[in-house]
Amino acid sequence: MVEKTQKILSKKHLLIVGKTEAERRMFINALIKDLNFEVFRFPRKLKSIDEYCDVIEKEKLYAPWYSAKSYNINQILDFHWDWISENNSLIVMEDFDQMEELWRIELLRIYLNEIDGRKKGENRIHLIISQESENGLTEKLSKVIKIRENEKRTRRQVVDQNLQIVKL
């Protein structure tokens, strides 16, 4: 199952659901063990955007386009969105259902929009999230995902093409 899931990860983001927290963690460890990506693993059970930003700052997951002594949270998030669009790394966020609903959906929307429409061979961010169950996440994402003008796919199809649910 790990090899099959690794192949899926090269094309889509992954949502790992089911079993126990420990079993999901062991599966993710096995999944990323032999991948050729720079891996950034966020602390488990992030609850707020402030915690997310703390990790961004600590790991330098942003690329400012101007120099300043310090940056506020909005600037860091803007720089981080650019970093996401230009990066070929793997982001892992476990037990992501603990995150504030508004920010959880917004972050996933940004990650999904980045992978949608990329051409083969272009740098792209890879994302693995885990949570106890799918819990309507794909439906919530399909309500907020941005689609291109003249898009023939529905919003739900865009989500399904860019996010693979892996049930353990």
What pLDDT, on the 0 to 100 scale, is given for residue 100? Answer: 93
CB 83 within 8 A of CB 124: no
What pLDDT, on the 0 to 100 scale, is given for residue 70? Answer: 83
Distance set, CA 115 to CA 56, 68, 109 (Å): 20, 30, 10
Distance set, CA 94 to CA 20, 79, 121 (Å): 12, 23, 27
Helical spans, DSSP H, in 60-123: 73-86, 101-115
What pLDDT, on the 0 to 100 scale, is given for residue 146? Answer: 84
Q: Which residues of the chain have pLDDT under 70?
A: 117, 119-121, 123
**Domains parsed from the chain with CATH numbers:** 2-45+90-167 (3.40.50)
What pLDDT, on the 0 to 100 scale, is given for residue 69? Answer: 83
CA angle 126, 103, 14 (to 5 degrees): 25
What is this structure's pTM? 0.90
CB 105 within 8 A of CB 50: no
Q: 3-state class of 107 per DSSP?
A: helix
Around Cβ 73, how many Cβ atoms within 10 Å? 14
What pLDDT, on the 0 to 100 scale, is given for residue 88? Answer: 86
What pLDDT, on the 0 to 100 scale, is given for residue 134? Answer: 93
What pLDDT, on the 0 to 100 scale, is given for residue 120? Answer: 64
pLDDT digits (tens, 9 = 90+) for 45-73: 999 999 999 999 999 999 888 888 888 88
